[in-house]
Chains A and B, each alone.
Chain A
Amino acid sequence: MEAHAAQSPVAPPRARHFRLPGVGTGLGRGYVVLWLSLIVLLPLAAMTDKSLSEGVGQFWDQVTTAASLDSLKLILVCSLIVVAINAVFGTIVAWLLVRDNFPGKSIVNAIIDLPFALPTIVASLILIQLWGKNSPVGIDFALTRLAIVVALCFVTLPFVVRAVQPLLIEMDKDMEEAATSLGAGGATVFRRIIFPNLLPGLAAGVALAFARALGEYGSVLLFAGGKSDTTVTSILIGQKIEQGNEVGAAALSIVLLLMALACLAIITLIQRWGSRHERAQGAGAGGFTIPASGGGLAGAAEDPAARPPGSFGGEDLDTGAPGTAPPRRHEDDDQRE
């Protein structure tokens, strides 16, 4: 405080961003890059190296064996079914949590995150108790393809709910009320107003859920098992590792890795599209948008707990778009027409 205090009024505050100690220097940047490289990138590089260690031909042969192709087809189809189911039910649940009032709502809201918090192997264990041969309700579909779908529904449910929830919180009720007063029925209001508003969040949530479903291992392991017709790709990779087929496991892993990267790229595109849309509508400058952090601020009015845990928060680091403020569409003009 001593020497600087006298100087600072003379020197006007710098216009550029305030710099915190060390972070922006080579040291801070070096630490971040080194950590990510050692922890994340180096192992992935070693795996890529291994997958190609016996040539591209061998890589291709490993990926295109009947078992590999079957497993890929199975997990893709199951993941598509699962995200479709959760897109519908996740939206319904998010709707109930934001717009409805019923006793125990806050408990329901908290329990949505259970699949995040519960270890996947425990999920597998309890699902097989409920839907296995000891089922208390007498329904046994363990070790079938239906079990894969149910396990994946369990683990991906929060992604959709938490992606849609902040958007619903932010959405103006005025639009819906206006539409209703003009005679639109519930279905029309949903199709013309609610759904378009939710679409960016829903799409991002679905892409995230899809990425998670593609790679899911623990929850499928005990419940759906590795029978010939229930072996998804992650389980097959596990089997190949146990058999000592490292090249085969690595090659198949590269395929899963590429699919995950594609999902990440799609999520980024959706967010770009969302924030551009927002700017195009002039909402960002017009004071309509509450710059909420994952719904934190905006939720304060109605529901503080709408933060997607482990979400990719919608931040657009390159453009500095505000927070994770979900993109909003203002269609008042269209609707009042």
Chain B
Amino acid sequence: MTISVNSPANTSRTSRWSLRVLGLGYLAVLLVAPLILLFYKTFEDGLAAPWEAITSADGLHALKLTLITVAIAVPLNTIFGVVCSLLLVRHKSKGNWLIDAAINLPFAISPVVIGLSLFLLYGKQGWFEPGLSEAGIKVLFSTPAIVLACIFVSVPFVVRETVPVLQEIGTEQEQAAETLGANGWQTFWRGTLPAIRWGVAYGVVLCTARVLGEFGVVSVVSGNISGETQTLPLFVEKNYENFNLPGAFGAAVLLALLALVVLMAMNLLKRKEAA
């Protein structure tokens, strides 16, 4: 057992530095360099071109449509997420594993596959086609399909973030509230919800990010019609394909800035939750 004190320390310093170079180098090349380049390319010829692209009629419409989908999909999935988490954690039953499995599906399935499934359900010869066309409702290639697509992909987030928090807080407080005579709703609003709020908020942020940026599913079901069914990510793709690079970059930078806001919100919420 005679080991020199110095040599392991030296080895560990060398290996520490090589790990730093490897790990941080990988991140720099893979994540940071492309992001910096995006901002550089967008603004190298000034602000005018990207600004014009975003504030064009199509650009503004894409932004508006994207915000509308967020405004519909996120609240719906937040309510569902909280109710579903309460069901999974507080009301155990034999069938819960099936609900649990179904919630995980949108994580794992390819966006194109989700898009195709909606396309086939609501499209011509789809299961809903006779009823929908009779009622004069157009789902596919219009806003409802985009909203449905965004709801589909963002179903899991609030549930996944709320379930662990609910498990962690336990039921003592809820039972205490009940003993003190609070009814179910009072207990929920004053006890449970404040206790899980950061977990729910974290899920909402992830949900929002996913809806903002969803591309694959929306590209299948929306038809990608400029000024009608084009969300911001589709706007980026269309402009790139049409060699309108300032347009593509302008919208891409806008989305990247939103992504950075999301990152900051995530970080903030993680700290709140840990505190």
Contacts and interface: CB of A to CB of B under 8 A. Distances in A.
A92 B34 contact: no
A286 interface: no
A203 interface: no
A141 interface: no
B16 interface: yes
Nearest to B80: A35
B49 interface: no
Contacts of A5: 180-181
A248 B214 CA distance: 24
Given A95-B23, A130-B33, A318 B111 contact: no
A305 B266 CA distance: 9
B38 A117 contact: no
A278 interface: no
Given A89-B22, A122-B255, A39 B152 contact: yes
Interface residues of B, number: 123
Given A129-B38, A309-B266, A40 B110 contact: no
Contact of B215 (A4, A113, A121, A208): A121
Contacts of A95: 19, 23
B37 A136 contact: yes
Nearest to B41: A129
Contacts, number: 368
A41 B20 CA distance: 45
B62 interface: no
A194 interface: no
B112 A238 contact: yes
Interface in B115-141: 115-121, 126-127
Contacts of A257: 109, 113
B108 interface: yes
A179 to B, nearest CB: 11
Interface stretch (A21-29, A62-70, A328-336): A21-29
Contacts of B117: 43-44, 46-47, 253
Contact of B15 (A123, A186, A221, A249): A186
Given A18-B171, A43-B117, A23 B83 contact: yes
Contact of A313 (B155, B163, B210): B163
A217 B192 contact: no
Contact of A310 (B80, B84, B160, B267): B160
Contacts of A324: 164
Interface string A191-223: 000000000000000001001101111100110
A146 to B, nearest CB: 13
Given A317-B100, A324-B164, A127 B34 contact: yes
Contacts of B96: 317-318
Given A121-B233, A304-B270, A256 B109 contact: yes
A40 B106 contact: yes
Interface string B126-169: 11000000000000000000001001100111001101110110
Given A5-B180, A40-B155, A46-B127, A234 B216 contact: yes
Nearest to A217: B216
Contacts of A222: 237, 240
7 contacts: A49-B120, A118-B35, A125-B248, A222-B240, A246-B116, A264-B101, A312-B160
Interface of A: 1-5, 7-9, 13-14, 17-24, 28-29, 31-33, 35-36, 39-44, 46-47, 49-50, 89, 92-93, 95-96, 100, 102, 106, 108-123, 125-127, 129-130, 136, 150, 153-154, 157, 180, 182-183, 185-186, 208, 211-212, 214-218, 221-222, 233-235, 237-238, 241, 246, 249-250, 253, 256-257, 260-261, 263-264, 291-294, 296-297, 299-300, 304-307, 309-313, 315, 317-318, 320, 322-324
Given A96-B23, A125-B249, A126-B35, 20 more contacts: A13-B175, A18-B171, A18-B178, A20-B86, A24-B91, A29-B93, A39-B151, A89-B26, A92-B22, A121-B252, A122-B259, A214-B110, A215-B113, A222-B240, A249-B116, A250-B116, A250-B120, A293-B273, A309-B206, A310-B160
